[in-house]
Amino acid sequence: MNQPAPAPSAPTLPVSLAANPKLSSWLKFSSSGEVTVSPGKVEIGQGIVTALAQIAADELDIDLARVQMIRASTAVSPNEGVTSGSLSIQQSGRALRHACAEIRQIFLRQAAERLGVGIDTLHIEDGIISGPGNLRTSYWELADEVSLDRDATPGVTPKIATSRTLAGHSVQRIDIPDKVLGRPRFIHDRALAGMLHGRVLRPEHARAQLRELNEDGARAVAGLVAIVRDGSFAGVVSETEHGAEVALNALRKGATWSDGELLPDENDLASFLKAQPSESTVIGKKTAASSGTVARTIRRQYTRPYLAHASIAPSCAMAQWDGDRVHVWTHSQGVYLLRADLALVLNLPVENITVEHLEGAGCYGHNAADDVALDAVLLAKSAGGRPVRAQWSRQGEMSDAPFGAAMAIEIEVDLDARGEIIDWRHSIWSNGHAARPGRAAQPALLAAFELENPFPRMVSTNPPQANGGGGDRNSVPLYDFPSWHIESHRLTTMPIRTSALRTLGGQGNVFAIESILDEIAAERGEDPVAFRLRHLRDERAKDVIRAVAARAGWKPEKLPGIGHGIGFGRYKNTGAYCAAIAEIESAEEISVRKLTLAVDVGEAINPDGVINQIEGGAIQATSWALKERVRFDRERITSTSWTEYPILRFSEVPDVKVEIIQRPDMDPVGAGEAAHGPVTAAIANAVFDALGVRVRDLPITRDRIIAAMDLS
């Protein structure tokens, strides 16, 4: 107990490696010249698997083609929690780099001993270890005599940045050829021997209970294997997918539901959010050394609607029981976390459950991947040991999966007589932005709430500020204002299910902060770029703003109907820096013609991969900002198809230019969520530049612009 605290300078292991120190759990060498790398993070369309392979190959001095990446599974992989928060490069990347550096040293020591030379005389090239003269051996030759069943030790020094030959250079992603050639790579395309197909019935009205179920129609459908019912959870299992669909439709006709629960008024989200019971937390407080005299206070309210993940593929999973053990195939972001929740629902020890990852379509946060896994597990109980594949419908994906939480944000700024900011107050009302599986004593999976003996519905919470926060993410200003007070009100009721969607509250908060700053700068008649630079102390922040301004030729000439705006943020205040300039055109609707971005992710492992992520984030943010809004009436979600939940189309996509500020000596951070906030704000500010009107409620549609004009 009374151990002395470690010296402040004592080296520590990267967090994922500290949690999973056994080197052999990360890497294996074969005598035939391959290295298998087994990260706990998963491919969700972001290219992480390639970046991790680059790091490993680089540190080991082997050709990238020798690296085989293993998909995460609770049977074999290190437990790295969840693939989220743009943390995979930070967590898995650092752990792998450290593990590989240590393993390289272990092999070098073994080689030095075998060859009878000093370790400093050895050199590795594509796994061949050579010494003076013709002395040589290799990882592959030594593979059987070197044991990696040992714990990683702190203090290993990876290569210096200038010695890296792969990390920092663009390489082709290793998953892309399969996807372009139409080879079965997605979970949706995998067929297991003897596989059956399942579908689950869900109510149209929010949280309605299943009162009666006439099964006759479904029983008459050819190929039916089982009808499963447990409380309000009901589903079918069929020999064929088509049979499952037909049986589900028949079952739907035979279902009688209770009334559902009342949903909020979609046209007055701010009032709803502010009226709910909530838990308030002071997120940040800064007190001024000397306060100026307040000449004027401006207060603005911003809102963001509920947003759908709206993945192109409906969620899918497979499950197979063997006695009291079950194997699950899933596109979940966290195989261990899903396993923990399954264990709660099934009342089984985790050892009885194996959860294995297979790729799904693009994942932007906590979608229905985990829910459908429990669906498959429950349906497979009635399948006599055969595997069952469950898949949601488009409608289910758009209405039953968790949404990104709606937000109301109020910022109040005190200005002195010269229009300078002297105090800043930022308040957020929102449901929590995280209700992920595997983190609570209760499961977070949809079917668990529907069972005869249901688990209570989880109310979303927010990750702590130390982990980037939730609704409060990016709410603490990056600017050097004299004083501020930041407060978050997390709702303790949750009529609409919310959980993690890309950036959590970051997009809403950056939109609000960057909008009001722009307004203050405009009122002062000060250039918004200069205004931001004047209030920043962090040189990396200033650099991305200067870079984007230079690249976009700030400020471009003013033309009728065209507007330009800027937005800036540092994701989570600790991650990637990103500045964006939008050029919009105002006609019948707003269209974004061009986005210019500058980004600093520290060391960019795969620069083209970073550009791809930033481009994708920028385009998705444009879609959120201009078009997206979950629609509902008082009884049900109504935006259940692509017609009712439109996203940006090819003809509407802006030209996107991305500049990376490469910093090889800085720790790498993720890029997937850096662009959303800055781009949203840049678009809103460009709309003001074009039209002279501030739209403070997302999405920025024609109706919203007219409403904002009426107000002003």
Partner 1 sequence: MPSVRFRLNGVELEIDADPDRSLLDILRGHLGMTGPHFGCGAGECGACNVIVGDRAISACDTPLWSVADKDVTTIEGLGTSEQPHPLQRAFIAEQALQCGYCVSGILMSAAALLRRNPSPISREVKEALDRNLCRCGSHNRMVRAVLRAAEEMAAE
Interface residues toward partner 1, by CB under 8 A: 44-47, 172-173, 175-177, 179-186, 188-189, 191, 240-242, 310-314, 359-364, 391, 393-394, 608-609, 612-613, 615-620, 623, 641-643, 647-651, 653, 655-656
699 cis-preceded (ω within 30 degrees of 0): yes
User: Is the distance from CB of 673 to CB of 510 less than 8 angstroms?
Assistant: no
Question: What's the CA gap between 23 and 42, in Å, rounded?
Answer: 19
Strand order in the sheet with 67-69: 27-29, 35-37, 67-69
In whole angstroms, the minimum distance from the beta carbon of 245 to partner 1 comes to: 8
74-97: buried (b, 16+ CB within 10 Å) or exposed (e) per residue?
beebbbbbbbbbbbbbbbbbbbbb
In whole angstroms, the minimum distance from the beta carbon of 243 to partner 1 comes to: 9
Helix ranges (DSSP H) in 320-429: 335-346, 369-380, 394-399
- Residue closer to partner 1 by CB (options 360, 469) is 360
In whole angstroms, the minimum distance from the beta carbon of 644 to partner 1 comes to: 10
| E strand intervals along 416-498 | 421-430, 484-491
Report how far apart, in Å, the C-alpha atoms of 392 and of each of 28, 212, 322 are.
37, 22, 24
- Residue closer to partner 1 by CB (options 164, 173) is 173
In whole angstroms, the minimum distance from the beta carbon of 682 to partner 1 comes to: 15
3-state secondary structure of 490: strand
- Residue closer to partner 1 by CB (options 240, 281) is 240
* Residue 58 CA to its chain's centroid (Å): 27
- Residue closer to partner 1 by CB (options 226, 671) is 671
3-state secondary structure of 88: helix
- Residue closer to partner 1 by CB (options 508, 617) is 617
- Residue closer to partner 1 by CB (options 98, 197) is 197
In whole angstroms, the minimum distance from the beta carbon of 435 to partner 1 comes to: 22
Could you tell me the two tokens for 430? 């929102």
In whole angstroms, the minimum distance from the beta carbon of 608 to partner 1 comes to: 6
Could you tell me the two tokens for 469? 């926060």
Question: Measured on CA atoms in the order 528, 534, 536, 542, is the torsion positive or negative?
Answer: positive
- Residue closer to partner 1 by CB (options 327, 389) is 389
In whole angstroms, the minimum distance from the beta carbon of 389 to partner 1 comes to: 11
Rg (CA), the chain: 27
Phi/psi for 521 (5° steps) reads -60, -45
Question: What's the CA gap between 138 and 61, in Å, rounded?
Answer: 11
DSSP secondary structure, 451-476, as one string: SSSPPPPPPPB---GGGT-STTTT-S
3-state SS string over 148-180? CCCECCCCCCCCCHHHCCCCCCCCCCCCHHHHH
User: Is the distance from CB of 25 to CB of 72 less than 8 angstroms?
Assistant: no
For residue 584, the cross-strand partners are 563, 592
In whole angstroms, the minimum distance from the beta carbon of 189 to partner 1 comes to: 4
- What single-letter DSSP state applies at residue 697? B
- Residue closer to partner 1 by CB (options 88, 391) is 391
In whole angstroms, the minimum distance from the beta carbon of 261 to partner 1 comes to: 27
Question: What's the CA gap between 413 and 426, in Å, rounded?
Answer: 9
Question: Residue 453, Cβ neighbours under 10 Å: how many?
Answer: 7
Report the candidate in 540, 345, 377, 356 with the shortest Cα–Cα distance to residue 456: 345
Between strands 255-257 and 210-213, the pairing is antiparallel
- Residue closer to partner 1 by CB (options 407, 618) is 618
In whole angstroms, the minimum distance from the beta carbon of 591 to partner 1 comes to: 13
- Residue closer to partner 1 by CB (options 358, 409) is 358
Question: What's the CA gap between 14 and 154, in Å, rounded?
Answer: 8
- Residue closer to partner 1 by CB (options 363, 377) is 363
- Residue closer to partner 1 by CB (options 233, 624) is 624
In whole angstroms, the minimum distance from the beta carbon of 194 to partner 1 comes to: 14
In whole angstroms, the minimum distance from the beta carbon of 311 to partner 1 comes to: 6
